[in-house]
């Protein structure tokens, strides 16, 4: 089950966290993986790990917010079977204190980045009459998280784009879903704790862990498993849906 033999997969943000674990598990399941990240070194590390485990991988340093570079990337990959949009950045703040610059930066990376990659991948999926796309949404797509104004705007858009693409390409054999993780212990979380709560790192880590009713953050591999399922042929009936994987955050918080 969950074999990705003979599939070409593009995973963005694959130098770290959820994208990295997804790329690694895809490699193990037999996919040829294009490991995309802004950071060339971390992309190469992930690709090397896949190859060391006996898989096939190529590292590409691409900024997903750059339309031309993303088009060039997809002209080099050949027709892709699987696209996972995991590249993304965080921001903490409410509408009062978010700057216009940060609002636009978050939009450019988290929204336009997903748009660019889906737009570039879909034509070849249409030709093949087959494709699976998974976008990283968030619990912020569903509930009002405190002090996440710009980030929430982007994750609402990711969820909405997922539904729209799933609807438009239903008859082209393309499935499009999103996953909404609760907090996952990656450099994404460590990074914003360090940036926004200097000196209170441990306290914030504990507070953010307890926010999930399950009492902890997820490990990135726990998110990669559901992404693997959604990209595999075993999920052939799954499209146009968001899959929360959040330790009970959306439904069990009292
Ligand atoms: N960690 C969490 O708690 C959490 C929760 C819900 C959703 N998410 C979402 O999951 C996704 C992955 O998060 P993560 O925790 O693995 O983050 P991470 O910071 O560990 O990894 C993100 C990767 O994206 C890359 N990246 C950033 N901007 C890029 C760009 N413009 N072009 C290409 N690559 C770029 C970074 O270099 C990094 O390697 C994000 O979209 C995030 O919003 C994360």
Residues in a beta bridge with 8: 32
CA–centroid distance, residue 171 to ligand 1 (Å): 31
pLDDT digits (tens, 9 = 90+) for 41-78: 999 999 999 999 999 999 999 999 999 999 999 999 99
Query: Which residue has the CA at smallest separation from atom 14 of ligand 1?
Result: 17
What pLDDT shows up at residue 253? Answer: 87
Give the tokens for residue 62. Answer: 């691409």
Distances (CA, A) of 91 to 107, 118, 191, 240: 11, 23, 10, 27
In this prediction, residues 185-209 reach a mean pLDDT of 95
Q: In which element (H, E) is residue 23 found?
A: helix 17-28
169 catalytic, yes or no? no
How is domain 8-182+220-242 classified at the architecture level of CATH?
Answer: 3-Layer(aba) Sandwich (3.40)
Longest dimension (CA), the chain: 53
pTM above 0.85, yes or no: yes
Domain parsing of the chain, residue ranges: 8-182+220-242, 183-217
For ligand 1, residues with CB inside 6 Å are 12-13, 15-19, 37-39, 42, 63-65, 86-89, 109, 113, 136, 138, 181, 183-184, 186-189, 220
Query: Confidence class of residue 254 from pLDDT cuts 50, 70 and 90?
Result: confident
What pLDDT shows up at residue 42? Answer: 98
What pLDDT shows up at residue 34? Answer: 99
- Beta-carbon contacts of residue 76 (< 8 Å; ≥ 6 apart): 60
pLDDT digits (tens, 9 = 90+) for 200-249: 999 999 999 999 999 999 999 999 999 999 999 999 999 999 999 999 99
Selected catalytic residue, list 151, 169, 196, 197: 151
Measured on CA atoms in the order 169, 170, 172, 178, is the torsion positive or negative?
positive
Residues of the chain with pLDDT > 90: what percent?
Answer: 99
The pLDDT of residue 167 is above 90: yes
In this prediction, residues 84-96 reach a mean pLDDT of 97
């Amino acid at each position: 089950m969950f074999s990705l033999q003979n599939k070409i997969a593009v995973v963005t943000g694959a130098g770290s966290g959820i994208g990295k674990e997804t790329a690694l598990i895809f490699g193990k399941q037999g996919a040829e993986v294009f490991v995309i990240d802004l950071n060339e070194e971390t992309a190469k590390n992930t690709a090397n790990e896949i190859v060391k485990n006996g898989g096939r991988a190529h590292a590409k340093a691409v900024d997903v917010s750059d339309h031309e570079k993303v088009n060039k990337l997809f002209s080099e990959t050949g027709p892709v079977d699987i696209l996972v949009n995991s590249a993304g950045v965080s921001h903490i703040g409410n509408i009062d204190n978010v700057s216009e610059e940060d609002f636009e930066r978050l939009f450019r990376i988290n929204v336009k980045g997903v748009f660019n990659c889906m737009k570039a991948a879909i034509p070849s999926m249409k030709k093949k009459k087959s494709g699976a796309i998974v976008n990283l949404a968030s619990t912020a797509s569903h509930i009002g998280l405190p002090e996440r104004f710009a980030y929430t705007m982007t994750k609402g858009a990711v969820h909405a784009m997922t539904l729209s693409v799933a609807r438009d390409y239903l008859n082209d054999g393309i499935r499009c879903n999103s996953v909404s993780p609760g907090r996952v212990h990656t450099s994404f979380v460590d990074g914003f704790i360090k940036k926004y709560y200097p000196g209170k790192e441990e306290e914030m880590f504990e507070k953010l862990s307890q926010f999930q009713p399950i009492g902890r953050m997820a490990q990135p591999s726990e998110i990669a498993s559901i992404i693997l399922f959604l990209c595999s042929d075993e999920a052939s009936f799954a499209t146009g849906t968001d899959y929360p994987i959040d330790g009970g955050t959306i439904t069990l918080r009292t």
